[in-house]
Structure 1
């Protein structure tokens, strides 16, 4: 007997023992539900922890902000490539092998990220992570209607959503604790146990579900075409914060090249009989409206998620661990809210007022952050973060329930595939937009503050002399005290500039949320 046949026999024996000797049918169904929830939670947890800890990770490998943008772009490229190819791979190898292999690749990428000592290693690791984790969300969600009877699907979806909102809640606090009590590498190591557990569950509990007919050729040329398009767009977005003023022509050329290739890819897919993306079946107006609302939600969510940790830790000078737990407060409110929504949603006949209220809550929370004084304490932030925690449940859950209702079960997988492409595009765009606007606004404010200080040299010199005298009274010599006083003045100007820039970003978020509320109000397709 060949090694492969021995391995197959052992695996079948183990799975058969678990399914017949230890687990009842109901218990096995529950294990499958938990496995799918774990699989989707892996990617959410890793991404939340990576973004929250980005400054410490980049400092650990001695990389600048451009490196962070490049690492994020690498993940997005790998992820979107796999989302496009997800259905072909699932049909070719079956969901059990595909999900287990994806989680294995994701785990290897995560381990390599923790072992990174340079930017090139981290970018490579993020690309591998994207390849492994890109289609976890799509695959896990589309398996629910495939694997469970209508009576069991509600329970499976509830566990699925609780997994997402649960890890979203604990992610920031876990990141902060791991860094504060260890090192930045622990952020990656902290994800590995969940990833390995989901991989084992996928291998043991998911059925082979092998198709009777093998799919056709892998269509590598369209896939590479799509990869080149999104790579060009990701490069344009990641370099925008650095080149928007210094090299605008080059930036515009790269962006236009990416857009042209992407439009060409979509045109090609539209006219293909066996496309990677079945666009023609997704022309349902309710679905297209839902995609627009998804884009709006992910844009607002990721913009706020990018700005708030910077604002709290660097502008308000709140310790990292406290910032992590502050972010977790909003996540816990979301988790409790999703439980309440699951229970009372059937009584809500109209979802549009709920979505409008959620967007107005985000606008109010962002406006409150924009009006915070420089010495705002933790007690001032907690109520706003708790209120903001309602945003996700009140917007994205109703949108999810309305978007796919017109597609039917046959086209649900295609619809969810395109929706997750939209998610990656929106999150990447939000990170790039936040980086460009925050960086440029901070630089502009720094120039203005420096100019104002130069116009009142007597006041600036008086402040410097006061600090210098105080430092000399503590034992410093004149040269050290003068240098330290100048450094403190520079740090104070930098902090003030970041505070003003962050407040402007929160005003932008508030304006976008109000615009989103008006958009939802004007929609007649979503009730």
Structure 2
């Protein structure tokens, strides 16, 4: 196909251009998802506790929030092409620093650099598509976009597992460096020199950035997420002061919005973000990305620490699941015009998610084979077009080009916070759940079960078996609760009204 905004582009160049758009977004997706998929190996490599590991995710999300806040201003001064190129270069530097990190503190700083570069790439890619293509042209562009974004997500788990097993945990970030370099070359070869949006957008007068808002929002995001994570380490009844940290995070973010509302010239316009449809859409986005971040951490941990599969088997299973997700998104891009704007599809997606969680929880037991587990993983992978794509189609339908940029930047800030919160919650929940399960399991062991004092090798074998069983119990409990939660979300999706006039 051809684009009216780019008459000189051949259909082949447009295809590779859309693949490059998706690849740029995929760099951000991979940077976030690999923290869950390879989290155990990374934690061991930098000697991080679960709480230390949480800092690496909150620092990424906080700096990604900064990138999204600066997105529109930088792009208007230069172009979205320049923003993407600069972001990819910074992301490459951040990935290299992650690979060179030796302590949790160094790793958290490196992840912040990576987030500053990669965190705004998805929003930039999606805004470019909005500016360049008319409504009837966008459907065809998603075909290449999905190949780039979902394709990177599909290949990375398998590739990382193969290389980590044969080398070291640093290969997780070496792969990200190589992928970002490939995407950078593709961007330089295929992107138009400047995206010319209608209405003389490039000629707008732009004031200096309000760094007070940047600091308030990014610091608030980081404090909020880390405070929520810390709640898992304490009993609220005995330590009510631990609630002050997340409350402080909310207060900082609120202060940022108060300042935005009082400014005469805004660079993230909150007035465009107060519509009923957008607020409901952001709520569903936050739920989905929280669950996605949680799933991406829980499943690799369960497969390796619970079921005892190696990293290579785990990586292959996750790649198969991501490939099915890619196929589902490709099919969805062909029928999207007939499916957009339907609450029942969102509800159906969460029913699938709930069924996958329940299926996996019932099969979470010692000795389970991959053949019994893989169907649940594949079922969950089918939820992406029904949930994420549908929410996207219903959230942004009312925005013009200018407001879309503000709305999508804010949506990606929410995505970063929700994803990091989900990954951190999964890490801390497993630690808490394993501790409780291990305590109950030990209480059930009597001296008669031990048959006296067993030799040291037998004690070590029993300790390993106890830890494995604790992981299985904690994971099964979490999966069961999440299945119930997704069922409730499905009901809410059917009942909630996205606008004053009901949508069928």
- Same topology, TM > 0.5: yes
Question: Is 1:459–2:449 an aligned residue pair?
Answer: yes
Question: Is 1:134–2:119 an aligned residue pair?
Answer: yes
Determine the structure 2 residue equivalent to 1:364. Answer: 355
Question: For residues 42 and 252 of structure 2, what CA distance do their matches in structure 1 show?
Answer: 33
Give TM-score, length-normalised by structure 1: 0.87
Question: For residues 40 and 361 of structure 2, what CA distance do their matches in structure 1 show?
Answer: 23
- Once the two structures are overlaid, the 10-residue window that deviates more, 240-249 or 174-183, is 240-249
Asked whether the equivalents of residues 36 and 423 of structure 2 are also in contact (C-alpha less than 8 Å), the reply is no
Question: Is 1:321–2:312 an aligned residue pair?
Answer: yes
Aligned residues: 488
Asked whether the equivalents of residues 236 and 255 of structure 1 are also in contact (C-alpha less than 8 Å), the reply is yes
Question: Is 1:492–2:465 an aligned residue pair?
Answer: yes
Structure 2 SS opposite 1:421: helix
The Cα RMSD (Å) is 2.3
Question: For residues 16 and 472 of structure 2, what CA distance do their matches in structure 1 show?
Answer: 48
Determine the structure 2 residue equivalent to 1:236. Answer: 227
* Closer/same/farther in 2, CA of residues 389 and 376 from structure 1, 3 Å limit: same
Question: For residues 249 and 349 of structure 1, what CA distance do their matches in structure 2 show?
Answer: 45
Question: Counterparts in 2 of 1:30-429, with a 5 A limit?
Answer: 30-150=15-135, 152-204=137-189, 205-208=191-194, 211-243=202-234, 248-348=239-339, 351-372=342-363, 373-429=365-421
Question: For residues 225 and 339 of structure 2, what CA distance do their matches in structure 1 show?
Answer: 40
Give TM-score, length-normalised by structure 2: 0.91
Question: For residues 343 and 248 of structure 2, what CA distance do their matches in structure 1 show?
Answer: 38
Structure 2 SS opposite 1:190: helix
* Closer/same/farther in 2, CA of residues 501 and 145 from structure 1, 3 Å limit: same
Determine the structure 2 residue equivalent to 1:14. Answer: none
Q: Which one has a bigger Cα radius of gyration?
A: 1
Question: For residues 235 and 144 of structure 2, what CA distance do their matches in structure 1 show?
Answer: 44
Asked whether the equivalents of residues 300 and 512 of structure 1 are also in contact (C-alpha less than 8 Å), the reply is no
CA shift for structure 1 position 311: 1.1
- Once the two structures are overlaid, the 10-residue window that deviates more, 264-273 or 146-155, is 146-155
CA shift for structure 1 position 209: 5.0
Question: For residues 247 and 25 of structure 1, what CA distance do their matches in structure 2 show?
Answer: 66
CA shift for structure 1 position 238: 4.0
CA shift for structure 1 position 398: 1.1
Structure 1 SS opposite 2:333: helix
Asked whether the equivalents of residues 48 and 172 of structure 1 are also in contact (C-alpha less than 8 Å), the reply is no
Structure 2 SS opposite 1:406: coil
Asked whether the equivalents of residues 307 and 505 of structure 1 are also in contact (C-alpha less than 8 Å), the reply is no
* Closer/same/farther in 2, CA of residues 161 and 252 from structure 1, 3 Å limit: same
Question: For residues 172 and 197 of structure 1, what CA distance do their matches in structure 2 show?
Answer: 18
Structure 1 unaligned blocks of 5 or more: 1-18, 466-481
CA shift for structure 1 position 64: 2.2
Determine the structure 1 residue equivalent to 2:475. Answer: 502
* Closer/same/farther in 2, CA of residues 201 and 326 from structure 1, 3 Å limit: closer
Question: For residues 54 and 238 of structure 2, what CA distance do their matches in structure 1 show?
Answer: 17
Asked whether the equivalents of residues 20 and 186 of structure 2 are also in contact (C-alpha less than 8 Å), the reply is yes
Asked whether the equivalents of residues 162 and 338 of structure 1 are also in contact (C-alpha less than 8 Å), the reply is no
Question: For residues 350 and 241 of structure 1, what CA distance do their matches in structure 2 show?
Answer: 38
Asked whether the equivalents of residues 55 and 226 of structure 2 are also in contact (C-alpha less than 8 Å), the reply is yes
CA shift for structure 1 position 213: 4.1
Determine the structure 1 residue equivalent to 2:3. Answer: none
Determine the structure 2 residue equivalent to 1:468. Answer: none
* Closer/same/farther in 2, CA of residues 496 and 302 from structure 1, 3 Å limit: same
Asked whether the equivalents of residues 312 and 318 of structure 1 are also in contact (C-alpha less than 8 Å), the reply is yes
CA shift for structure 1 position 139: 0.7
